[in-house]
Every structure is written in C-alpha cells, then in structure tokens.
Amino acid sequence: MTKSSKLRSVSGIMLILIAIAGLVAWEAKGRELVLMTEVCTAISDIRRGEALDSSMFRSVTTPRDPLVSGAVTPENIDMLDGAVAASFIPEDAVLSSAYIETPSDTERRDYAYFTIGSKWIYMCSSALRRGDKAEIITANGAKSFGVFDIGFVKDADNEEVREAAGQGAGFGGTKAEPRVDATSPMDHVEIVTKLPTYLAIKQYAESVSGPSLIIVGKEIVE
C-alpha cells in the first residue's frame, strides 16, 4: 500500500470516528439543546387570584414543538413579581403569560385587608412590619398560600406595631442590625389579598386544631 493510500485510509477512519463522536454528542446533548427547552410548571393547584411567586413552580425540560404559547422559562420567572393567577392553574400545568395578571389600580379594588388572627398563627417573624411582604404556609410545610403585602402588624389592643428605636433591617434588608425595640408585642397581622384567597386560608386554619400557619418574612421596606 502506497503512502498516499495509507493516508486516505487513516483520513477515512478519522472521518468515521468524528462522525460517530458527533452522533454521540448529538444524542447526549445536541438533541436537548436544539429540540428541548426548560419551562416552569405548577407544583400544586393554584386558585384564581392567588399571589404568585417562583417557589410555586418547578423547572422541567420539554420539547420545543409543540410548546404552550407564552410559556414562562426559569430565565423570565421574575415576571411573577406582584402578579396573581388570572385563572385556575392545575398541578403540573406549564405556566404561561395567559395565567398571569398584574393587578392595575382598578383591579386593586378587588383587594382588601384581611386579618390573620393570633389563634391561627403558629409562628411569625417579630421583625415583620407594615409594607413588608410575607409568605403564609401551613405549619407542616405542605402548602403555601402565596406571598402577600402586609397591611398592618398589630398588638393585642389592635394598635399598630412599629419600630420604637428607628427602623433597622429584618429579612432581606441591607443593614446589618435587626429590627429591635418594637412599640409592643405582635398579636396579629392584616394581609392584602382577594376574598377567595383569604377564605381558602381561613378554611384551612379553622379545619385543624390549634395554630396552623407560619408567616415567613420575604421582603422588607426600609
């Protein structure tokens, strides 16, 4: 076999190996990169009007075609900030823009202040104040009712709890020191939400024995 023949043989083998490697790479990653994409799906059923946040969804890989129009991806999940469910979202449904609405001033008329009484509260951050955001979850951690604006934090005399010595940072704040020296001990809070969402919280709280809700501070207002 001549030198040129050997060279052609080696080149042919190299081309075959490169083709095989390319096929393996396509099956391993290429197919997923080209034909698949990540979307967000609901971890559990979400009621219409319920406040939305990223913890209520998980990321899954799905074929690009067919894909729900306006599907929300992990990269644009921030669009949920301040949003509520425009309609019922069933468990495992792909989140799309059609499911999301950001209440306008007119729609805000459907919102009101509702009391989460002390007999329902299993645990609540003492740093919570009016204007903060907080998540309400069941004491067993099985369900989240969403993240809500805190309308008021009040004591047993129904007086607002304020920061007596200047407002420091609590959860998510930028200052190192925590909020201290409240004007009085917290007894209950008032959240801003729609009636159906509040009724769902109320129904659960009254269906179990003893305090059943944990109020977790998510964002403070300085």
The residue-averaged pLDDT of 58-64 equals 83
Mean pLDDT computed over every residue of the chain: 78
Residue pair 116/207 in contact by the 8 Å Cβ criterion = no
pLDDT in tens, 113-144: 899 999 999 999 888 888 888 999 999 988 99
Top pLDDT among 181 and 183 is at 183
> Given this model, what pLDDT does residue 189 score?
94
pLDDT in tens, 2-30: 655 555 665 666 666 666 655 555 555 54
Does this model's pTM top 0.85?
no
- Domains in the chain and their CATH numbers? 39-101 (3.90.1210.10), 111-219 (2.40.30)
Do 44 and 61 touch, CB atoms closer than 8 A? no
203 pLDDT above the threshold of 70:
yes
Amino acid present at 53:
D
DSSP state of 215: E
**How many residues are listed for the chain in this entry?**
222
Band (205; pLDDT cuts 50, 70, 90): very high
pLDDT at residue 105 is higher than 50: no
Determine whether 10 is exposed, middle or buried from the number of CB atoms within 10 Å of its CB (0-12, 13-18, 19+). Answer: exposed
Is the model more confident about 172 or about 51? 51
